Structure 1
Amino acid sequence: MVEILGYLAAILIGLSLGLIGGGGSILTVPVLVYLFAIEPVVATAYSLFIVGLTSSVGAFNYFKQGLVKLKTALLFGIPSIFSVFLTRNYLIPTIPEEIFSVGSFTLTKGVFLMALFAVLMILASYKMITSKNKPKETVKKQTSQSTKEYVLIILQGLFVGMITGLVGAGGGFIIIPALVFLLGLEMKEAIGTSLTIITLNSLFGFLVSQSHIQTDWTLLLGLSAMAIIGIFIGMRLAKNIDGAKLKPLFGWFVLLMGSYILLKELVF
């Protein structure tokens, strides 16, 4: 029964990616850890594959419509990939299995990653809840970006790569605002480009994790298939539903999930 819920949740992962261009990875790690009993470090790697493969389907669909800015994707994506590589290969292995103990409480590597993920969920939910109902579709496109804006994009790419590498999150909630408000992309272009960046980051992150984990391909491909079904449904619904209007509702759900994970890992 629990596994059935997990596969149904995988559809929601794809649905979120198809509707709002992000948010799917926020659900993936909790689904893997709590419904499939996957160890957190392995769950972050599995999440990278599921989110990367699912995002690639969405990115290809947007690319066919001319809604992917490849130059921008590379500008953001190359620093992200570099950061993912450093995080998965050098940062995560240096985190000790037992970080510290206070009384009866022990902060393990798994608890630390889940708590960090929960904090990320809460921060992401805040941005989703407080975002305006209608994203700025009419942001004036810039003919050229300043050096400062390019530097900000590169720095955000490095930050997103670190987050992707640490907790298996694609970072769409960071990428899309940066593309819209720093580079002046229209919302649909931002979603298509975001999915492309998430694809590059996530699949690369999974590949560099292979030397550290054993992969259950049956589970991984099964969940990915369900998530891909979800993204097709999401992309179809996106033609008639404004994903931005659903973002605050999804944000409240993410807030509840993040708060539950934080309490479960650190308190109960």
Structure 2
Amino acid sequence: MHILGYLMAVVIGLVMGLIGGGGSILSVPVFAYIFSMDAVSATTLSLFVVGFTSAVGSVGFIRQGQVNFTTAFRFGVPSILGILFSRRVVVPHLPDYILNRYGLVVSKDMFILVIFAALMLFSAIRMIQKKERIRPQVQNVSSDTLLISQGLLVGIITGFIGAGGGFLIVPALVMLVGMRMKQAVATSLFIIAINSLIGFVSSLDSVAVDWVFLLSFTALSVVGILLGVRMARKIEGRKLKPIFGWFVLVMGIWIIIKELFLNSLL
């Protein structure tokens, strides 16, 4: 099983390089189910893997001039505030049991993983659907407000469930700012890198980290994203999204069934 987990590290990077997101959708289940980590540890380590891998992947896009730093700043600052709110206020103060009455038991781990699975289902539907509409790039108060509010939302989600938010960031940049897909993917990776690494650092005092394991896993993920960025020059990531979307949909449904029904039978 651990060999499968390390192979998945390469797949995580590959997916991120091809479609600008999806790393956390794979890494959190890998840490939680293959390496048997609790939900808080799984989401925290996911933030490091996704953040570091995104940083490496964004270097090539920066050299190509594809990263829009102005938009990244406008989106990223609210995201950072959302991350700090989740990691420093929400997650540490969650009780071990969210619900323990009338025969219903919902633990912190179950709650986090079910919320994560719900995001997987949302992301899967977005990936399976037809391509997003691209609107002209026009700066106005409305689009700025939406971009900032979505940045805050992505930050809260990133901090709470360890998701980089690529499948929320890319559509936002395409529909609200009018970016072309390749520039949106590049800018998304840059934002994810900053958000995820800040989220990870903010959790170091509450999670024990096996650095040898984490750096080994991350190194394999970096290999994957370098391959993915290279493949993205020949394969359009948009064409791969529906296939990956169906895979994510099945995984999300499986996590919900496992956490809500199968665990109670074991």
TM-score (norm 1): 0.95
Aligned-pair CA distance for 1:104: 4.5
d(CA) in 2 for partners of 1:239 and 1:111? 40
Deviation per residue, 1:28-48 (Å, 9 max, x gap): 100001010111101111000
d(CA) in 1 for partners of 2:135 and 2:113? 39
Aligned equivalent of 2:242: 248
In the TM superposition, 1:18-29 aligns within 5 A as 18-29=17-28
Does residue 52 of structure 2 align to residue 53 of structure 1?
A: yes
Does residue 181 of structure 2 align to residue 182 of structure 1?
A: no
In the TM superposition, 1:158-237 aligns within 5 A as 158-237=152-231
Q: Which runs of 4+ in 1 moved over 6 A?
A: none
Deviation per residue, 1:99-141 (Å, 9 max, x gap): 1124554100010000100111011000000133xx66xx465
Contact kept in structure 1, 2:135 and 2:174, CA below 8 Å: no
Q: What letter is aligned with 2:52?
A: L
Kindly report the root-mean-square deviation, in angstroms, between the aligned alpha carbons of the 2 structures. Answer: 1.2
d(CA) in 2 for partners of 1:140 and 1:205? 32
Unpaired stretches in structure 1, ≥5 consecutive residues: none
Aligned equivalent of 1:239: 233
Deviation per residue, 1:139-169 (Å, 9 max, x gap): 4652x41101000000000000011001100
Contact kept in structure 1, 2:135 and 2:175, CA below 8 Å: no
d(CA) in 2 for partners of 1:141 and 1:185? 8
Contact kept in structure 1, 2:57 and 2:225, CA below 8 Å: yes
Deviation per residue, 1:161-194 (Å, 9 max, x gap): 0110011001111101111111011111101100
Unpaired stretches in structure 2, ≥5 consecutive residues: none
Q: What letter is aligned with 1:147?
A: V
2:256 to 256, 262, 267: 262
d(CA) in 2 for partners of 1:256 and 1:53? 27
In the TM superposition, 1:4-153 aligns within 5 A as 4-132=3-131, 139=134, 141-142=136-137, 144-153=138-147
d(CA) in 2 for partners of 1:218 and 1:156? 35
Q: What letter is aligned with 2:34?
A: L
- SS of 2:202's partner is helix
Deviation per residue, 1:238-261 (Å, 9 max, x gap): 111111011000000000000000
d(CA) in 2 for partners of 1:223 and 1:103? 42
TM-score (norm 2): 0.96
- SS of 1:267's partner is helix
d(CA) in 1 for partners of 2:61 and 2:104? 47
Contact kept in structure 1, 2:135 and 2:176, CA below 8 Å: no
Deviation per residue, 1:33-77 (Å, 9 max, x gap): 101011110111100000000000111110000000001001000
- SS of 2:88's partner is helix
Deviation per residue, 1:214-261 (Å, 9 max, x gap): 111011101101110110111111111111011000000000000000
d(CA) in 2 for partners of 1:80 and 1:131? 27
Q: What letter is aligned with 1:145?
A: Q
- SS of 1:25's partner is helix
Q: What letter is aligned with 1:37?
A: S
Q: What letter is aligned with 1:83?
A: G
- SS of 1:209's partner is coil
